[in-house]
Each structure stands twice: as C-alpha cells, then as structure tokens.
Amino acid sequence: MESAGGSRETGSPEVSEHGLKENAIGFRDALIIGIASTAPAYSLAAVIGLVVVVVGVQAPAVLLASFIPMFFVATAFYYMNRADQDCGTTFSWVTRAMGPYLGWIGGWAICVTGILVVGSLADVAARYTYIFFGLDGLAGSKVAITLFAVVIIAATTALCVIGTELSARIQDVMIIAQVGALLLFAVVALVRVYGGTAPEGSLVPKLSWFSPFAVDTPSALIAGLLIGVFIYWGWESSVNLTEETENSESAPGLAAVASTVILLVTYLSVAAAVVGFGGVGTAERFADDDAILSTLATGVLGSPWDKLVVLAVLTSALASTQTTILPASRTVLSMARANAIPSALGATHPRFLTPHVSTIVVGALATLWYVPLNFLSENFLFDTLSALSLMIAFYYALTGFACAIYYRHELFKSAKNFLFIGLAPMVGALVLAYLFFRSIIDLASPDASYTGGSFLGLGLPLVIGLGFLLLGVILEIIWRLGGHGSFFGRRPETVSPEIAAGRARVKETAGAPPEED
Amino acid sequence: MPGCLILGYDDTPSARAALDVAIEQAKRFDERLVILFAYAPPGRSVGEEYSEHRRVLEEFGSVATSKAADKATAEGVDVEVLLVAERPSIALENAARARGARLIVVGTYGESPLRSAILGATPHKLLQFSETPVLCVPAGPR
C-alpha cells in the first residue's frame, strides 16, 4: 500500500522530464508559433503608418534594421531559457544574473507592456470586426468600438481563466490565411504600381527604400527603429522552441529560420506596397490610424477581396489579445511565487488550474487603462505604442545584459560561446539601451509626440513609458520596506558549467531561491 | 492482479463526492483505487516558458491527491496516486486503458450540457470517447 502522493508518474511514456512531449513540436508547429506570436497583420496595421510618418519612403529599411537588435537579443532569450525555463522570463533571469532589484523592474516592465497593449489590440479587433461586417457607422464610433473592445477583453480574460485555447488546427489555418492575405495584398499592389494602374500619387519602389543609410536624419532613424522593435515583439518565442527537440532533429531550428524569413519578407513587401501604392501622403494621413491597411486593401484588391486583409488584421488582433494576457499573467504568477509581490496574486483556480487571480487582474487593469485613456487622448494608440516600445526596449536590453552576465564564466571557453552567448546579446542590448536613452531625450520634447500631447512639458509617450517605470520603482521600494528578505536577499548567480554546455538541465528552482550546491 | 478503478481527482466538492463513491466501489469489488490528478502542461501551443506554472500545478496536485489517498487508505483501500501532465480526459482514458480498469469515476458540477461544453468539462469530454465505462458523481449533498 502506498502512502499519499507516493508513486508519481510524470506522465505517459512519451513525456520528457520537463513535461513537454518530445517531438511534440514539429516543423509546421514551430513555424506557425514563430509567426503567430508576432501577430504580423496587427503589428503592420498599427505601425506602418507611424513608420512612414517618421522616415518616409525608407519605411521598409527601418523594418529591416529593427530586426537586427531583435535577432541579437533573441539569442539571449534562447540561452537564458536553456538555463531557466521560468514563466517569469526576464523577471526570473535578470533576478538570477543581476540581483532582485533589477529583476523586479524587468518583471514589472513585462507586466505593464502586456497590460497597456491589450486595450489597443482589442480596439483593433473591435474596429475590424465592424469593418468586416460592413458596419461602417459603428466602425467610426468611438463609443461602439470601446464597448465592443471591453467585451473582447472580458471574453479573452475568461478564456484565459478557463484555459481553453483555440484548437491548433484552426490556429494554423488562421495564421496561414493571415500571411497569405498580406502577401496577396503586397503582390497585387506592387504589380499595379509597376503596371501603372495604381492611382495618382503612387511611387515605383527603389532599392534605396530598403537602405537604413538613406534615412534623412539619425533621429528619424532612431524614432523609426524604436517603433520597429514593436513589430518583432514576441518573435523570440520561436527561438525558445528549438530547445524541445534540439537533440532529435533540426526541424525546429529550421522552422525558426523559416518563420523569420517569412516574417521579414511579409513586413518588407507590405511596407513597400503601402508606400508604393498609396504614396507617402496616404500613410501620413492615416498615421496612427490602423484603418490604413483595410482602406488601402479596398483600393488594391477591390471588393470583396479586400475583406481578406480585414479578416487577417481582425484574427491577428484577436489571437494576440489572448497571447498577450497569458505572458503578463504568468510573470505575475512567477513574481508572486518568488515573494516579489503579494502571494495572493499567484493563486491558482482549483478547477481550471490556471493562475486566475493574476489573469483577472491583468484583464481588469487593461480595461481600466484603455477605457479612460481612449476617451482622453485622440491618439491613444500612437502614444501607447511609443511608450510600449520604450518599455520593450528596456526589458529586452536588460535580458541581453543578463545573459552575458549570467554566462560570464563560460564566454571564453569557446568562440561559439563568446559570439552567441556574449557578443550577440551584448550588442543587441547596447543597441536597445541606446535607443531607449536616445528616445527619452527625443521624446522629452512635446513636439516629438505626433499627437502633441504633453504633460508637465514632457511628451505623452515619455510620460506613459517613464511614468510606469518610475511607478514600478516606487512600488518596489514599498514592497522592500515591508520586508520580504527572502526575495530581496537573493544574490546574483552564474550559470553552472554543466548547463552552459547543454549537458544538464536546470532543476526547476525558478522563482524560488536556488538550492545551495 | 486484482482489478482497479480510476478516480479523476482535483479536490473540488464534486471530486470529493466522487471519492466517496469510488472508495465504496473499491471496497465492494476489492479493487485497487487509482487516484489521478491531471493538468494540461501550460503554454505548449505558444512556445511559452512555463516551469513556475507547472510547479504550482504539481504542488496543487500532490496536496489534493494526498488528502484523497489518506482518506481511502484509512478505509482500507489499496491506493495508487498518479500525477499526469496531460489534459484530464485524455489522461483518464489512457490510464484506464493501460491498467484495464473496470470503471472511471469523475465528479460533475451538475451543469447544463451547454455550459459543460463551453467550459470543456472533463466528464463531458470523457463521455464522448472513453472505451471504459464512466461513472459521473454529482456534488449534491450526501
């Protein structure tokens, strides 16, 4: 007779030691995840107008250039994930490498970005739903959009609590349709531009559009890069996946490369198509208005094919509302378990087994942020996106530095270690840190804000971005004053050589103080 | 080898009701009681890091099942505990098939069929494809 909890089975035989089914993720899955987590259609709709406003015809160049720091920082995510697969990601990793104070702020930045962006995502999903069903009156009404967006946030939060995810098959179809619609739009637009059937004002693409060096001023390039960072946000997920099947086959690695190529091709061709077909004027007229893609699609594809692009943006925004709530709530879970925030936030629902408290808190805060701000600021989306980019750059840079620091004893053991674990994350982090500080300076002037919105003489995006980081520092100090030595007493560590060499996996001490050797 | 029956257990009121019925069954047929707690590994579909969440679920599961196991043991039933990282309906069916179980016992919330379908209730799913007979126990006052 066995005592309680005696015999344990980690799962059916094909389940590996850390719970994921080995070979569960094949080439197609990894490809889909890589594309899905960046939500290309939504990202493009939200960002393309802004990029054109900032850098004109060099929009494709900026999208290309912003990929480079993202690529470098993704190597940091890959290696940190190998050492510590914590759902707190940056929070857990920076805490390990650079101590609890910086780690806390990193976790805070992740949560805040998630909370701030959910409203924008739901807003886009609501607007495009109206457009898709031809309800143009509702699509133009802020009240109607806000109401529906709140319903979407509530429904998605509920889905995240119940733990239901769309069936993988439906998700696959949606992703492929999304990229397909975008590419169709780009190809038809470019064919019409070259064929001379595009409307007045269209421009034939030049090679210089793709050259970052052709951008007029350095500050325009920096502003563009910071926005560009946003469209690759989430892309690192595809890199992390390679871990699961690393030893068995190279399919996931290939898939990560393939999804990246597809993403780049989609972004560059759609950017070139938007600028080419509509000319700079059209994009500038829309600027922060994400209706740019749907409006141009009507011109390019005609009815009813333009609905394909509308549907692509709609599904992309809907899906990423869910995939944005999840990481934010998981970071809250990890922080709560590490005693970095009140432990009540880490509660798990007895029936659905999801972190329901943190999920509901994230959903509620997202609504509380979105609704008033949407009515206060005409250009809510623009200012939030700039602020978000600031915070994304902040925590990506932090993660890049954390990787090089965490692995510092391993960097000089081989050229490969030095290049991929040390140099690449450092370069990525330095570029993002530079972007972060340069844009603080640039954004300090109210003129830099497209909206002209200002507060205490500072641009609104900066107030949002820095304001939230400062709020984080204040909350952290309050939490520290309340004691919590088990978290704040943690010392920075380094990776163990065994794990660095990939010979062993870390025991899951994530979030909790590590065991002494 | 004596027969066995599988109990899906998550320490909710209906699961506790199901535990009572399962203990009764195990005693009457002199069978081993397999107490199974299953949790879907989070984040698989989006490539998320997940370990802290998984630890929470494992802790939750071992606390829940140990309570149930203590109770069954106290009643003199031969007990086996399983924690499985898989969706509950699939885990129950797999475990039942692998052990040639006579019966799967699960608790039900007594929800309407539509609500069960929306929430993805385990008994609702299990009834669709299980090859092993399923006994559903409502949470009602006992």
Of A138-152, A241-255, A488-502, highest mean pLDDT: A138-152
pLDDT band at A31 (very low <50, low <70, confident <90, very high): confident
- CA of A34, closest CA in chain B: separation in Å? 8
In this prediction, residue A425 carries a pLDDT of 92
- Residue whose tokens read 């924690």: B83
* Structure tokens given for A194: 């070259």
Write A214-218 long-range contacts (CB < 8 A, 24+). Answer: A214/A58, A214/A61, A215/A55, A215/A58, A215/A61, A215/A62, A216/A55, A216/A56, A216/A58
In this prediction, residue A288 carries a pLDDT of 63
Q: Based on the number of CB atoms within 10 Å of its own CB, is A197 exposed (0-12), middle (13-18) or buried (19 or more)?
A: exposed
Q: Based on the number of CB atoms within 10 Å of its own CB, is A14 exposed (0-12), middle (13-18) or buried (19 or more)?
A: exposed
ipTM for this prediction = 0.74
Element (H, E) at B49: none
pLDDT band at A107 (very low <50, low <70, confident <90, very high): very high
Q: Is the pLDDT of residue A453 over 60?
A: no
Q: Across the interface, do B55 and A350 touch by the CB < 8 Å criterion?
A: no
Task: Give A39-85 pLDDT, tens digit per residue.
Answer: 888 888 888 888 888 888 888 999 999 998 888 888 888 888 777 77
- CA of A325, closest CA in chain B: separation in Å? 12
pLDDT band at B90 (very low <50, low <70, confident <90, very high): confident
Instruction: With beta carbons under 8 A apart, name residues in chain B contacting A2.
Output: 69, 79-81
Higher-confidence residue of A217 and A451: namely A217
In this prediction, residue A160 carries a pLDDT of 82
pLDDT more than 70, % of chain A: 81
Task: Give A180-210 pLDDT, tens digit per residue.
Answer: 999 999 999 999 888 877 777 778 888 888 8
In this prediction, residue B55 carries a pLDDT of 79
In this prediction, residue A4 carries a pLDDT of 37
Q: Across the interface, do A87 and B12 touch by the CB < 8 Å criterion?
A: no
Q: Across the interface, do A327 and B81 touch by the CB < 8 Å criterion?
A: no
Roughly how many angstroms between the first and final C-alpha of chain B, as a whole number? Answer: 33
In this prediction, residue A447 carries a pLDDT of 60
Residue of A nearest to B116 (CA): A162
Residue ranges of E strands in A231-290: none
Q: Across the interface, do A348 and B83 touch by the CB < 8 Å criterion?
A: no
B78 part of contact set with chain A, CB < 8 Å: yes
- CA of A299, closest CA in chain B: separation in Å? 35
Mean pLDDT across A462-485: 88
Mean pLDDT across A246-275: 75
Contact A122, A150 (CB under 8 A): yes
In this prediction, residue A141 carries a pLDDT of 85
Q: What is the dihedral of CA A361, A367, A369, A370, to 10 degrees?
A: 150
Residue of B nearest to A252 (CA): B47
Instruction: With beta carbons under 8 A apart, name residues in chain A contacting B41.
Output: 19-20
Nearest to B66 among A4, A326, A510 (CB): A4
Q: Across the interface, do B47 and A9 touch by the CB < 8 Å criterion?
A: no
In this prediction, residue A55 carries a pLDDT of 85
pLDDT band at B59 (very low <50, low <70, confident <90, very high): confident
* Structure tokens given for A455: 């507060």
Q: Residue A242: CB partners within 8 Å, gap ≥ 6?
A: A30, A78, A252, A253, A256
Question: CA A328 to CA A313: how far, in whole Å?
Answer: 22
pLDDT more than 90, % of chain A: 20
Write A3-6 long-range contacts (CB < 8 A, 24+). Answer: A3/B69, A3/B73, A4/B65, A4/B66, A4/B67, A4/B69, A4/B70, A4/B73, A4/B81, A5/B62, A5/B65, A5/B66, A5/B69, A5/B81, A6/B69, A6/B81
Instruction: With beta carbons under 8 A apart, name residues in chain A contacting B83.
Output: 8-10
Nearest to B120 among A6, A37, A162 (CB): A162
In this prediction, residue A12 carries a pLDDT of 38
How many cross-chain Cβ pairs, A to B, lie less than 8 Å apart? 147
B93 part of contact set with chain A, CB < 8 Å: no
Q: Across the interface, do A6 and B69 touch by the CB < 8 Å criterion?
A: yes
Q: Is the pLDDT of residue A516 over 50?
A: no
B45 part of contact set with chain A, CB < 8 Å: yes
In this prediction, residue A464 carries a pLDDT of 83
* Structure tokens given for A38: 């960046």
- CA of B26, closest CA in chain A: separation in Å? 14
- In this predicted structure, which of A20-24, A285-289, A476-480 has the lowest mean pLDDT? A20-24
In this prediction, residue A398 carries a pLDDT of 94
B53 part of contact set with chain A, CB < 8 Å: yes
pLDDT band at A401 (very low <50, low <70, confident <90, very high): very high
Residue of B nearest to A19 (CA): B85
Task: Give A154-169 pLDDT, tens digit per residue.
Answer: 998 988 888 765 566 6
Nearest to B41 among A19, A92, A171 (CB): A19
In this prediction, residue A319 carries a pLDDT of 81
In this prediction, residue A349 carries a pLDDT of 84
Nearest to A5 among B50, B66, B94 (CB): B66
Q: Across the interface, do A162 and B119 touch by the CB < 8 Å criterion?
A: yes
Mean pLDDT across B89-114: 88
Q: Across the interface, do A33 and B54 touch by the CB < 8 Å criterion?
A: no
pLDDT band at B141 (very low <50, low <70, confident <90, very high): low
Say how many CA atoms lie within 13 Å of A148 toward its Cβ: 20
Q: Across the interface, do B47 and A327 touch by the CB < 8 Å criterion?
A: no
- Residue whose tokens read 């003199």: B76
pLDDT band at A238 (very low <50, low <70, confident <90, very high): low
Instruction: With beta carbons under 8 A apart, name residues in chain A contacting B67.
Output: 4
- In this predicted structure, which of A81-90, A196-205, A337-346, A373-382 has the lowest mean pLDDT? A373-382
